[in-house]
Amino acid sequence: MVFLQRGIVWLNRQRVARLSRRATYRRGGESVEIAATLGATTVEVTDDTGATVRSPQMDVIVSAAELMLGDVAITPRIGDRIHVASADGTAGVLEKTLVYEVLTLPDGRHYRPCDPDGRMLRIHTKQVEILE
């Protein structure tokens, strides 16, 4: 088990170093800087007529230890917002900030652990705004 835990810690370090962007997690007037990795989830919903609608949602993967507002560890809440800088790497292009809001999927969850110990969290979101 210790070997697996070491692997999870290593994997999270690699995610932060190679796959993440700096982002700001906001709840009300409080915020914290985090390393965010963007992912995707496709949600399927069947309506009353039997038609199935597929909707892509943006997931944000974060270290649970980074989610601290003040001195208090938090878990994601519906309505919290994550501001992520979008950079295309082109010199001279204005950087925009994409704003994602935590939302509930049809199964009732708005986040889930990525590993058995919950060191990394996969937060389900929807893009709600673009700031320039």
* pLDDT reported for residue 1: 65
Average pLDDT for 4-10: 81
**Which residue do the tokens 């969290």 mark?**
121
Per-residue pLDDT band for 107 (boundaries 50, 70, 90) equals confident
Does 121 score more than 90 pLDDT?
A: yes
pLDDT, tens digit, 9 for 90 and up, residues 17-55: 887 888 999 999 999 999 998 988 777 778 788 888 777
Average pLDDT for 89-103: 77
Task: Give this prediction's pTM.
Answer: 0.82
- Structural domain that includes position 115: 2-131
Identify the H or E element spanning 11: helix 2-14
Own/partner pairs for 35-42, CB < 8 Å, 24+ apart?
35/62, 35/63, 35/66, 36/60, 36/61, 36/62, 36/82, 36/84, 37/61, 37/62, 38/84, 39/122, 41/105, 41/124
Nearest-CA neighbor of 67 among 77, 58, 57, 59?
A: 77
* pLDDT reported for residue 26: 97
Between the CA of residue 57 and those of 43, 44, 121, 127, what are the distances in Å? 7, 11, 16, 8
Domains contained in the chain, number: 1
DSSP string, 12-44: HHHIIIII-EEEEEEETTEEEEEEEEEEEEEEE
* pLDDT reported for residue 110: 94
Per-residue pLDDT band for 4 (boundaries 50, 70, 90) equals confident
User: Rg of the Cα trace of the chain?
Assistant: 16
Quote the DSSP letter at residue 50: S
pLDDT, tens digit, 9 for 90 and up, residues 57-91: 889 999 999 999 999 999 999 999 999 987 655 55
* pLDDT reported for residue 89: 52
Average pLDDT for 106-118: 88
